Amino acid sequence: MTSPDGNLFQQQEANRRRTVWLVIGFILFFAWLGFGGDYIWSLSSRHPFPWLGIVLTAAAVITAWYSYKTGPEKVLWATGAQELTDPQTDAERQLANVVDEMAVAAGVPRPRIWIVPDDDPNAFATGQDLLHSHIAVTQGLLRICNRDELQAVIGHELGHVKNLDVRLMTTLAALVGAVLLVRDGMGRMMRGGGPRRGGRGKSGGPLVALLLALWLISWILAPLITQLLALAVSRRREYLADAMSAQFTRNPLALASALEKIESAEAPTTSIKRGAAHLCIADPLGRHFTNREGWLADTLATHPPMGMRIARLKGMGYAALKKAAQPL
């Protein structure tokens, strides 16, 4: 399966590089917050040792490593997902069979299967690599999808697994949560005491005011920037995963039908929070930007317009039917 960016192996390698640069950028950003804060502090008062920079940089390294290693488990835990190890109902047995079939069709190891106790239909994939991947579906998805539609949804998620989208997107989800957590902690610390102007020593003047403003803006914008990055990463990959599902199932109309049912269902998916929204096959938050086009929608939506995705899939399906109907 090819993509506009190259073949499958190039896509996988690109995702590996993006994950590495994402982690490096995360660490450098916190180094700036730490050592930048130390520098501002040194200009406005006595501050001989850069303890803030050392602590924040070390915390960023540890957080990035921990997020990478435990991101999938944290995402699944946050949704309340329960692993399907011993199917009991017809729906659970069908899900297990479909995952087995589609893993063979995709040429990837069978992922672990999870069910999210939520009535809104949705699905997502997470994991670190092909050998450590997970697919989760909601109870609502099992209720509304027939077997062909369920196959198509699972094929879409396995497309993310095969491209190693899950590594990048899961790491990003974990780092978004880490940024929010650290920002809140630093906010409490700063309210209790932190870099202040007017202490003994150099006053700093306008330079201190400018650097302090940039430093504070960085703290304020950090969660927004990481979330916007997560949205951009997701949007670019949904079309490719749709196309891979069509390839695996040979039935793009089934995914179009599943997306129509998902789109017409009530939202939001309450079990899936904002930090993991970009992992899902459809926006779990029910934001109206998903169905719009233009700069604002491209900036704020987690997914491409659902209507456009469905139209592309129907175009694939009708082209295939027309080709099959032509005489040899």
Which residues are identified as catalytic? 157
Name the amino acid, one letter, at 20.
Answer: V
Give the pairing type, strands 2-3 and 6-7: antiparallel
* Nearest-10 crossing angle of helices 51-79, 8-44: 140
Question: What is d(CA 61, CA 24) in angstroms, rounded to the nearest whole number?
Answer: 9
Question: What is d(CA 219, CA 235) in angstroms, rounded to the nearest whole number?
Answer: 26
Question: What is d(CA 48, CA 117) in angstroms, rounded to the nearest whole number?
Answer: 53
Q: Dump the DSSP string for 171-204.
A: HHHHHHHHHHHHHHHHHHHHHHS-S-SS-SS---
Vertex 79: Cα angle to 137 and 272 (nearest 5): 80
| Count of beta carbons in the 10 Å neighbourhood of residue 93 | 12
